[in-house]
Amino acid sequence: MQIIWRHVRESRRLARRPWQLLERALNLCCVFFAVLMLWKGLVLVTNNARPVLVILSGDGTVLHRGDLLFLSRLDERLRAGDLIAFQLKDREIPIVHRLVKLHETPAGEMAVLTKGDENLVDDRGLYPKDQLFLSKRDIVGRVHAYLPYLGMAVIWLNDYLWIKHGLVVATTFSLLIGCGTWQWPVALLLSEMVKGGFF
């Protein structure tokens, strides 16, 4: 209860000092733009529009639900056995499966066949009709590294929107009135919101 009264007193004090409120609002904007610059810098360094992915459903062997994947550049040479992320037409969410066959077409383009580690057959059933292989334009990137279960926070924020909205309101309010140091949760939350198109 004391925390609530402290926030109320601090917000009343800020209402009487609009310049201090403006300064804190500008600090909040700086945090937001710093996160945005970090994300865009990561996109630039990796040469990939999606340098980070979260696994929404795992196959149970290597990757699990909530694993955070880091994708490397597309211009790196792919090999059979690599884990790759690919995006199919008419599918919103990328798929991460193992590359099992790689060859060049007579036109000199790369053709890739993928398969889930726990699947008995390859992914041709997932590909669009009359498409037997993936091309370079379908591939989002090669999985370079992953952090187990670190993406569960992102999944929870997307599954339970009230948590996301509550965190945004509470964090913004706390930063504006200056009670508490919530810089790293703000950075994490804002980066996810920018990435997910919340703004």
pLDDT tens for 29-74 read 888 899 899 989 988 888 888 888 888 887 667 888 889 898 887 6
Q: Is the pLDDT of residue 81 over 50?
A: yes
Which segment of 17-26, 29-38, 107-116 scores lowest on mean pLDDT? 17-26
Q: Domain-by-domain residue ranges, the chain?
A: 9-46+152-195, 68-147
Name which residue leads in pLDDT, 130 or 59.
130
pTM: 0.68
**Residue 7, pLDDT score:** 67
Topology (CATH) of 68-147 = Umud Fragment, subunit A (2.10.109)
Close Cβ partners of 8 (under 8 Å, ≥ 6 residues apart): none
Q: Average pLDDT for residues 178-197, to the nearest whole number?
A: 56
Q: Is the pLDDT of residue 126 over 90?
A: no
Confidence of residue 198 (pLDDT cuts 50, 70, 90): very low
Percentage of the chain beyond pLDDT 90 is: 4
Return the sign of the alpha-carbon dihedral for residues 30, 33, 37, 38. Answer: positive
Q: Taking the CB of residue 31, how many other CB atoms lie within 10 A of it?
A: 17
Token reading at 184: 């790293």
SS3 assignment, position 70: strand
Name which residue leads in pLDDT, 67 or 195.
67
Q: Are 141 and 74 in contact (CB under 8 A)?
A: yes
**Consecutive H or E run containing 168:** helix 161-177
How does DSSP assign 3-28, residue by residue? HHHHHHHHHHHHHH-HHHHHHHHHHH
**Residue 33, pLDDT score:** 92
Q: Is the pLDDT of residue 131 over 60?
A: yes
Averaged confidence pLDDT in the chain: 80
**Residue 177, pLDDT score:** 65
**AA letter at 159:** D
Q: Are 188 and 32 in contact (CB under 8 A)?
A: no
